[in-house]
């Protein structure tokens, strides 16, 4: 049966377009039940004996939730107890339009066989399709469509089966109309509370608007949020500004709203205090009203201490707010300040953290403290607080009423015991949104069948380079080897240098499930003792990995150079190689240094190393920056996997050698793909920092009677090279570490939507990523572009679509940023494990930053940063004077400057199990009443097996 659906829509030019669509109605859409004799469904999903024990529904039954139940109670629907659920097409379509994450979760539940979730296409069934009536809203029409489908099921299922159909809805009017029609309908909450098998499922119920009123006070604590229509009018008139709220990591009472301007331009509006924040949560899109200039304030220099979870800490928050308000600051330090007047879009996610159990006996309402300090505490209702104490749990926010100090939420699930390595790793992956579930069977189905061989067909568009003396140089234990190199003499007296990169794009074809998964993951994430691959292990550690003594497919960038490292010719080709050695940096360095070794591999390495030094000198001459960042490496116990040694990474000449040729390959490929595809080349840029970013660097240098020029990258590089202090060899490293903190984030972008390509740090006009396709999806796209450019592969539509490329770049930038944060969290956690059984250590460090109430110390031996606080709640605060201009902090007459050498004690503070941290206390200089006495002799570290 054919129907026609007619609607009108507005075009971009402002015209009205009438759209008529054909809508087919069918009789052969099955109900999906095993008990049905009418439908000819060979694979029914709904069981003939659906048993969910309920005090309300004492009979066998199927459930049909409406749209709002699916949207708001997805945590409950995902529980293993909830089975035999009919998801209507009407509901699925609405959910898809309103929430992509919930849509994915309900689709996953439908595809989970043991859940017995069935999708009924009611909008195309002759007996359940309904037309929208004149004057009827779309929402009312959909509610009626759901009731019609429930009624159809009630009549369709044979009476002999004794199976009823239950509608779950929290809409009072919808429920009343269903009951008037003789249907069984319950509110989701009353149905879940009636379940006998799992009474704890009540904890996972999201709060409805009625529930929210029950647990809030009558006192209005926050200003009312403006309605969206008023916000939009205000933004249009310029009264309000739209931006993304980002809370401060060090101070939860402060944050900034980032307002995106033209191109890369953006401005920040400071928010300070609970009233100005007005219930905004980190990453929410908000509307802000700018305050008059007389009310502008400066960012706080106060670092708030986290003293552990408390059941209620209103007084403490008020005390912290007073600290913010009391400060006197210079006029030039004031920042544009505003207040939140409304929320445009909530960007809440599930949060990991721990329960702060209420002090009231048998209470069901408790505060949840998120692991992310930028997120406020959340009030939840649970009946199993005792069993959840000490556990890491996940909680979702349901709403934040104006008369509640905290947002309301509900318990989702427990992740395990706090402090447990597996639990903490799961937490940091979830908190940083790292996709880490095992690859699905659908994804794995696109892997090549084993045993895999290189066929004649594969060789057609490839150059055979198996005869070349190619080798790889990587960190120890590396199995995902992306790159290999060679260098050989040519008959004309010049040198041939090749960079050979794993040809991952041969195995991952555009648009299939494997490609989509890799694009979503964006990058391989390296944690301490763990790697979360972007592509399945068969590719990452086997077929794509350029291991020695096996034939592998590669994408080669080959230069002809003279002995001054000047490029005379460049060619790109798909190839087949056979690596002659897989070396570590140390092994390659040993070969170069050992004069008795003169084999082909060693000669190749020496040639590469010689050229790399010339290339690096040339880059530095052009203004490339050599920055510094303290990186650490853990040695793990081979049995317990606990860290037993912690060292800063030592870089060798071979590290620089490999880096130079990877940079050269990336620059060469960037120029090639841009020349061929000026509108859709995927490139990488590093914006030059705004001059204000260098303020702290100028102040630090000035305090040591030095001047750092930052007008250009070249001047900055030269200034850093000249910045030396006699008798203080580590000073230059500290200065470079500080300079790194001033830099902007490098980002991927599409060439057709940007005009500034320059990479500031590398001092190159164009750059991309080509050399790591096993671990970066950006490189796979670049490989595809290069392959099309040289005629080695065919193109496809989205590759040439600059808007699709830009959307992909946004996801890659996000994934890379989250991977970096996850890696830092993993290092922090393993650093805590390292110090756990070491008592109190005594180490030398340097002051990196001076704050109003603390100094931040870097310990070079461990590459570790920590904070020395000068305020202690258990004793009177010392006299402190903070000078923001220099900056200095004077404590009881002693002045601390940036880069001063101090001696501190280091220990693990485990008093707050959720936020265990490295605690530092001042030993030297000795300040009476402030510094601590030296610790007893350090405990001898246990001798354990090293897993190097």
List all residues 6 or more positions away from 580 whose beta carbon is below 8 Å from its beta carbon.
469, 470, 471, 548, 549, 600, 601
pLDDT value at position 360?
Answer: 79
pLDDT value at position 42?
Answer: 85
Q: pLDDT: is 23 or 678 the higher one?
A: 678
pLDDT value at position 302?
Answer: 61
As a whole number, the mean pLDDT across the chain is 88
Rg (the chain; Cα; Å): 32
* Interatomic CA distance for residues 510 and 470, integer angstroms: 29
Q: pLDDT tens for residues 229-250?
A: 999 999 999 999 999 999 988 7
Q: State the SS3 of 554-574.
A: EEEEEEEECCCCCEEEEEEEE
What is the chain's length?
948
Residue 29's SS3 state is coil
* Interatomic CA distance for residues 945 and 941, integer angstroms: 12
Q: pLDDT tens for residues 193-215?
A: 898 877 778 888 887 654 444 45
Does residue 638 carry a pLDDT above 50? Answer: yes
The closest of 22, 106, 104 to 67, measured between CA atoms, is 106
pLDDT value at position 646?
Answer: 65
Q: pLDDT: is 906 or 629 the higher one?
A: 906
Q: pLDDT tens for residues 101-115?
A: 899 899 999 998 899
Does residue 941 carry a pLDDT above 60? Answer: no
Max mean pLDDT among 310-314, 646-650, 810-814 falls in 810-814
* Interatomic CA distance for residues 397 and 408, integer angstroms: 6
pLDDT value at position 363?
Answer: 79
The closest of 650, 707, 549, 648 to 862, measured between CA atoms, is 648
DSSP 8-state secondary structure symbol assigned to residue 940: P
The pair of three-digit structure tokens given for residue 83, joined into one six-digit string = 């089975």
* Interatomic CA distance for residues 562 and 496, integer angstroms: 9
Q: Which CATH architecture has domain 228-305+331-417?
A: Beta Barrel (2.40)
Angle between helices 585-593 and 653-676 (to 10 degrees): 110
- Of 5-14, 459-468, 674-683, 895-904, minimum mean pLDDT range: 5-14
The pair of three-digit structure tokens given for residue 334, joined into one six-digit string = 């004031």
* Interatomic CA distance for residues 723 and 717, integer angstroms: 10
Residue ranges of the domains in the chain?
Answer: 61-205, 228-305+331-417, 441-609, 670-824, 839-947
Task: Please answer whether residues 609 and 500 qualify as being in contact, where contact means their C-beta atoms are separated by less than 8 angstroms.
Answer: no
List all residues 6 or more positions away from 890 whose beta carbon is below 8 Å from its beta carbon.
880, 881, 882, 883, 896
Q: pLDDT tens for residues 364-396?
A: 889 999 998 899 999 998 888 888 888 999 999
List all residues 6 or more positions away from 407 whose beta carbon is below 8 Å from its beta carbon.
279, 281, 376, 378, 379, 397, 398, 399, 400
Task: Please answer whether residues 443 and 517 qualify as being in contact, where contact means their C-beta atoms are separated by less than 8 angstroms.
Answer: yes
C-alpha 394, offset from chain centre: 17
Which residue do the tokens 């849509």 mark? Answer: 103
List all residues 6 or more positions away from 398 whose beta carbon is below 8 Å from its beta carbon.
72, 206, 207, 212, 407, 408, 409, 410
C-alpha 757, offset from chain centre: 25
The pair of three-digit structure tokens given for residue 2, joined into one six-digit string = 């054919």
> CB count, 10 Å around CB of 937?
8
The pair of three-digit structure tokens given for residue 821, joined into one six-digit string = 């944060």
The pair of three-digit structure tokens given for residue 193, joined into one six-digit string = 């509370």
> CB count, 10 Å around CB of 176?
12
In this structure, is the dihedral angle defined by the CA atoms of residues 808, 811, 814 and 816, taken in order, positive or negative?
negative
DSSP for 852-889, written as a single string: SSEEEEEETTTTEEEEEE---TTSPPPPEEEETTTTEE
- Of 4-8, 14-18, 839-843, 924-928, minimum mean pLDDT range: 4-8
* Interatomic CA distance for residues 317 and 410, integer angstroms: 23
The closest of 447, 440, 645 to 542, measured between CA atoms, is 447
Q: What is the mean pLDDT of residues 779-807?
A: 94
- Of 411-425, 662-676, 864-878, minimum mean pLDDT range: 864-878
pLDDT value at position 782?
Answer: 97
Task: Please answer whether residues 230 and 237 qualify as being in contact, where contact means their C-beta atoms are separated by less than 8 angstroms.
Answer: no
Q: pLDDT: is 85 or 250 the higher one?
A: 85
pLDDT value at position 431?
Answer: 92
pLDDT value at position 943?
Answer: 36
DSSP for 105-130, written as a single string: HHHHHHH-GGG-EEEE-GGGBTTT--
List all residues 6 or more positions away from 124 whose beta carbon is below 8 Å from its beta carbon.
23, 24, 25, 26, 29, 89
As a whole-number percent, the residues of the chain with pLDDT over 70 amount to 90
Q: What is the mean pLDDT of residues 934-945?
A: 51
Give me the sheet containing 241-247, strands edge to edge: 266-272, 254-260, 241-247, 285-290, 338-345
Query: How many helices and strands in the chain, by DSSP H and E?
Result: 25, 39
Task: Please answer whether residues 655 and 780 qualify as being in contact, where contact means their C-beta atoms are separated by less than 8 angstroms.
Answer: no
pLDDT value at position 927?
Answer: 92
Does residue 16 carry a pLDDT above 90? Answer: no
Q: pLDDT tens for residues 915-927?
A: 788 889 999 999 9
Task: Please answer whether residues 843 and 918 qualify as being in contact, where contact means their C-beta atoms are separated by less than 8 angstroms.
Answer: no
Same fold flag, 61-205 and 228-305+331-417: no
Which residue do the tokens 């928050």 mark? Answer: 317
Q: Which residues pair with 683 in a beta bridge?
A: 749
**pTM for the whole structure:** 0.83
* CATH homologous superfamily of 61-205: 5'-nuclease (3.40.50.1010)
Q: How confident is the model at residue 26 (pLDDT cuts 50, 70, 90)?
A: confident
Does residue 4 carry a pLDDT above 70? Answer: no
Q: What is the mean pLDDT of residues 741-759?
A: 92
Asked if residue 887 has a cis previous peptide bond (ω within 30° of 0), the answer is yes
pLDDT value at position 948?
Answer: 32
Which residue do the tokens 């940091």 mark? Answer: 428
pLDDT value at position 942?
Answer: 38
* Interatomic CA distance for residues 64 and 85, integer angstroms: 6
Does residue 303 carry a pLDDT above 80? Answer: no
pLDDT value at position 319?
Answer: 53
The pair of three-digit structure tokens given for residue 50, joined into one six-digit string = 């659906």
pLDDT value at position 210?
Answer: 47
Angle CA 817–819–825, to nearest 5:
105
The pair of three-digit structure tokens given for residue 570, joined into one six-digit string = 């460049």
Task: Please answer whether residues 620 and 664 qualify as being in contact, where contact means their C-beta atoms are separated by less than 8 angstroms.
Answer: no
In this structure, the dihedral spanned by the alpha carbons of residues 459, 462, 466 and 467, taken in order and rounded to 10 degrees, is 120
* Interatomic CA distance for residues 840 and 877, integer angstroms: 24
Does residue 129 carry a pLDDT above 60? Answer: yes
Does residue 559 carry a pLDDT above 90? Answer: yes
* Interatomic CA distance for residues 615 and 566, integer angstroms: 9
Asked if residue 451 has a cis previous peptide bond (ω within 30° of 0), the answer is yes
The closest of 644, 649, 646 to 630, measured between CA atoms, is 649
Q: What CATH code is assigned to 839-947?
A: 2.40.50.140
* Interatomic CA distance for residues 209 and 439, integer angstroms: 39
In this structure, is the dihedral angle defined by the CA atoms of residues 774, 777, 781 and 782, taken in order, positive or negative?
negative
Q: pLDDT tens for residues 685-731?
A: 999 999 889 999 998 898 888 999 999 989 999 999 899 888 888 89
Q: What is the mean pLDDT of residues 459-476?
A: 93
Does residue 263 carry a pLDDT above 60? Answer: no
In this structure, is the dihedral angle defined by the CA atoms of residues 382, 386, 389 and 391, taken in order, positive or negative?
negative
* Interatomic CA distance for residues 350 and 367, integer angstroms: 15
Largest CA distance in the chain: 95
Q: pLDDT: is 461 or 11 the higher one?
A: 461
Q: What is the mean pLDDT of residues 763-768?
A: 95
Max mean pLDDT among 36-45, 90-99, 309-318, 363-372 falls in 90-99
Q: How confident is the model at residue 946 (pLDDT cuts 50, 70, 90)?
A: very low
């Amino acid at each position: 049966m054919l129907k026609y659906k007619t609607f009108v829509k507005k075009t971009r030019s402002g015209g009205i377009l009438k759209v008529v669509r054909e809508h087919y109605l069918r009789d052969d859409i099955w109900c999906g039940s095993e008990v049905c004799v009418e439908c000819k469904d060979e694979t029914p999903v709904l069981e003939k004996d659906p048993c969910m024990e309920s005090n309300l529904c004492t009979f066998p039954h199927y459930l049909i939730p409406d749209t709002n139940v699916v949207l708001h109670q997805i945590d409950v629907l995902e529980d293993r107890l909830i089975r035999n659920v009919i998801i209507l097409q009407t509901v699925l379509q609405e959910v898809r339009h309103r929430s992509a994450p919930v849509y994915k979760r309900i689709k996953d539940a439908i595809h989970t066989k043991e859940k017995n979730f069935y999708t009924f296409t009611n909008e195309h069934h002759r007996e359940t399709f309904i037309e929208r009536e004149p004057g009827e809203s779309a929402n009312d029409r959909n509610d009626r469509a759901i009731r019609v489908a429930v009624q159809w099921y009630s009549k369709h299922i044979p009476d002999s089966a004794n199976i009823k159909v239950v509608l779950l809805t929290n809409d009072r009017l919808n429920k009343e109309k269903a009951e008037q029609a003789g249907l069984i309908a319950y509110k989701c909450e009353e149905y879940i509370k009636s379940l006998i098998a799992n009474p704890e499922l009540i904890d996972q119920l999201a709060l409805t608007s009625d529930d929210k009123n029950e647990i809030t006070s009558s006192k209005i604590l926050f200003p009312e949020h403006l309605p969206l229509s008023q916000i939009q009018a205000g933004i249009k008139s310029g009264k309000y500004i739209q931006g993304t709220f980002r809370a401060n990591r060090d101070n939860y009472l402060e944050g900034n709203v980032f307002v995106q301007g033209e191109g890369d331009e953006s401005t920040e509006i400071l928010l300070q205090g609970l009233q100005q924040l007005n219930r905004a949560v980190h990453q929410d899109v908000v509307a802000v009203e700018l305050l008059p200039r007389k009310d502008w304030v400066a960012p706080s220099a106060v670092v708030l201490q986290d003293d552990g979870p408390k059941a209620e800490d209103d007084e403490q928050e008020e005390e912290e707010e007073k600290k913010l308000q009391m400060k006197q600051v210079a006029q030039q330090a004031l920042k544009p300040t505003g207040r939140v007047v409304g929320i445009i879009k909530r960007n809440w996610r599930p949060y990991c953290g721990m329960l702060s159990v209420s002090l009231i006996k048998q209470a069901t309402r408790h505060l949840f403290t998120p692991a992310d300090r930028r997120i406020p505490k959340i009030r939840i209702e649970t009946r199993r607080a005792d069993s959840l104490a000490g556990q890491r749990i996940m909680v979702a926010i349901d709403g934040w009423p104006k008369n509640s100090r905290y947002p309301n939420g509900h318990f989702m699930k427990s992740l395990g015991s706090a402090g447990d390595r597996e639990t903490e790793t799961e937490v940091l992956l979830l908190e940083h949104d790292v996709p880490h579930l095992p690859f699905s069977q659908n994804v794995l189905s696109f892997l090549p069948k084993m045993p895999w061989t290189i066929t004649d067909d594969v060789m057609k568009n490839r150059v055979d380079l198996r005869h070349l003396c190619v080798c790889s140089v990587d960190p120890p234990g590396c199995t995902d080897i992306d790159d290999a190199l060679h260098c050989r003499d040519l008959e004309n007296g010049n040198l041939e240098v090749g960079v050979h990169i794993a040809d991952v794009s041969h195995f991952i074809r555009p648009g299939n499930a494997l490609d989509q998964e890799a694009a979503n993951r964006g990058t391989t994430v390296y944690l301490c003792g763990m790697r979360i691959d972007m592509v399945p292990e068969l590719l990452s550690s086997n077929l794509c990995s350029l291991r020695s003594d096996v034939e592998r497919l590669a994408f080669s960038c080959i230069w002809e150079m003279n002995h001054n490292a000047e490029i005379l010719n460049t060619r790109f080709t798909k190839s087949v190689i056979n690596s002659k050695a897989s070396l570590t940096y140390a092994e390659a360095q040993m070969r170069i240094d050992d004069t008795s070794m003169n084999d082909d591999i060693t000669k190749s390495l020496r040639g590469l190393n010689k050229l790399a030094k010339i290339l690096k000198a040339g880059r530095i001459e052009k203004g490339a920056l050599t920055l510094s960042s303290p990186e650490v490496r853990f040695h793990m116990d081979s049995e317990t996997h606990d860290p037993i040694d912690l060292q800063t990474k030592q870089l060798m000449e071979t590290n620089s050698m490999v880096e130079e040729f990877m940079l050269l390959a990336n620059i060469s490929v960037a120029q090639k793909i841009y020349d061929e595809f000026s509108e859709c080349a995927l490139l990488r840029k590093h914006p030059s920092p705004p001059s204000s970013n260098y303020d702290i660097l100028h102040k630090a240098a000035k305090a040591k009677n030095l001047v750092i020029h930052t007008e250009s990258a070249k001047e900055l590089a030269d200034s850093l090279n000249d910045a030396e202090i006699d008798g203080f060899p580590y000073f230059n490293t500290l200065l470079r570490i500080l300079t790194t903190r001033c830099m902007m984030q490098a980002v991927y972008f599409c060439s057709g939507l940007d005009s500034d390509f320059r990479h500031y740090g590398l001092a190159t006009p164009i750059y991309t990523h080509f050399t790591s396709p096993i671990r970066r999806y950006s490189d796979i796209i670049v490989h595809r572009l290069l392959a099309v450019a040289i005629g080695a592969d065919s193109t496809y539509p989205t590759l040439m679509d600059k808007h699709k490329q830009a959307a992909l770049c946004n996801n890659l930038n996000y994934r890379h940023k989250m991977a970096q944060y996850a890696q830092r969290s993993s290092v922090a956690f393993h650093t805590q494990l390292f110090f756990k059984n070491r008592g109190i250590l005594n180490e030398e460090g340097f002051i990196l930053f001076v704050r109003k109430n603390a100094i931040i110390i870097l310990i070079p031996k461990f590459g570790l940063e920590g904070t020395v606080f000068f305020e202690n709640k258990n004793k009177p605060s010392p006299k402190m004077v903070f000078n923001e201009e220099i900056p200095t902090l004077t404590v009881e007459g002693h002045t601390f400057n940036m880069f001063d050498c101090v001696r501190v004690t280091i220990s693990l503070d485990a008093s707050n199990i959720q936020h265990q941290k490295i605690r530092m206390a001042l030993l030297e200089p000795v300040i009476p009443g402030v510094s601590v006495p030296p610790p007893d002799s350090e405990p001898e570290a246990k001798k354990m097996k090293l897993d190097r």
